[in-house]
């Protein structure tokens, strides 16, 4: 396989469901705002105040709430291109569990930190939302698996995928520290969790959580094992 060549894969089953759910939430939220009703973000977005009020479902619903059309467009394209290739590589079961670990993990840590350090402030009730966190997680995984694949910053400047992700991480860190954006902290959490999963995937705990035995592409039942990339350098990845 040529690690340097990239082409858009078919939209996978899991990502199709995610994009449909996101589109429905976006349209519903737009209609509710147009008629002067409530905002879905206050209900489905994730905030510490919401969780403390008993809205536990926010841990699963917050990625599907997009409030801007450009966010829907670019996040959907990125999830399609990168996420679908990872699902094809890992299989649906492992891919879904990878996403769930990131979504729930980010949500719990973010809510706990806000409760402990920002109780009663605006951050305590500010919800996080959208597919950006998921996309940052799969970008980190993609860059660890295919570090030399070519990607484009702002669709103009070509660079290696690992360089692209380092730049994104730097931008998010700057925004988190100097712009006080709650979402940026959540994005950094997603990137960190993704890195730890890929980096320590051979550890028994992570292998068991991701279900090390699964049916791959309906051809034969095999066990999840680890191989190296083409130039025989870390990091390792699932296959």
How does pLDDT run across 6-55, given as a tens digit for each residue? 556 788 899 999 999 999 999 999 999 888 777 888 899 999 999 988 99
**Residue 177: its pLDDT value, please?**
86
CA distance 212 to 112: 30
Between 3.40.50.720, 1.10.1660.10, 1.20.1540.10, 3.20.190.10, what CATH number should domain 13-238 receive? 1.20.1540.10
Least-confidence region, from 19-23, 61-65, 83-87, 223-227: 223-227
The answer to whether residue 4 scores a pLDDT higher than 80 is no
- H helix intervals, the chain: 13-34, 41-44, 48-52, 58-61, 69-78, 84-90, 92-117, 122-125, 132-145, 161-178, 182-199, 204-209
How does pLDDT run across 138-153, given as a tens digit for each residue? 999 999 998 888 776 6
Helix 182-199 to helix 161-178 angle (10° resolution) is 140
Q: What is the pTM of this model?
A: 0.80
Least-confidence region, from 151-155, 193-197, 218-222: 218-222
Considering the chain, what is the average pLDDT of its residues? 82
**Residue 183: its pLDDT value, please?**
85
DSSP state of 64: G
Would you list the domain boundaries of the chain?
13-238
- Burial class from Cβ neighbours inside 10 Å (0-12, 13-18, 19+) for residue 148 reads middle
How does pLDDT run across 124-142, given as a tens digit for each residue? 888 899 999 999 999 999 9
**Residue 216: its pLDDT value, please?**
42
């Amino acid at each position: 396989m040529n690690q340097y060549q990239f082409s858009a894969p078919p939209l996978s089953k899991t990502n199709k469901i995610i994009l449909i759910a996101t589109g429905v939430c976006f349209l519903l939220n737009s209609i509710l705002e147009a008629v002067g009703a409530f905002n879905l973000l206050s209900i489905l977005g994730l905030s510490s105040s919401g969780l403390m009020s008993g809205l536990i479902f926010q841990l699963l619903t917050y990625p599907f709430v997009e409030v801007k059309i450009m966010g829907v467009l670019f996040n959907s394209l990125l999830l399609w291109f990168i996420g679908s290739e990872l699902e094809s590589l890992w299989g649906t079961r492992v891919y879904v569990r990878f996403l769930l670990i990131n979504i729930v993990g980010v949500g719990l840590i973010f809510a706990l930190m806000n409760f402990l350090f920002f109780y009663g402030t605006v951050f305590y009730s500010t919800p996080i939302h959208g597919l950006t966190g998921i996309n940052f997680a799969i970008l980190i995984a993609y860059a660890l698996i295919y570090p030399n694949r070519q990607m484009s910053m702002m669709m103009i400047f070509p660079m290696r995928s690992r360089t692209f992700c380092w730049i994104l991480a730097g931008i998010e860190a700057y925004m988190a520290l100097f712009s006080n954006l709650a979402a940026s902290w959540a994005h950094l959490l997603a990137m960190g969790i993704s890195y730890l999963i890929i980096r320590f995937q051979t550890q028994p705990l992570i292998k068991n959580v991701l279900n090390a035995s699964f049916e791959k592409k309906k051809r034969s039942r095999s066990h999840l094992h680890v191989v190296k990339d083409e130039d025989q350098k870390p990091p390792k990845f699932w296959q």
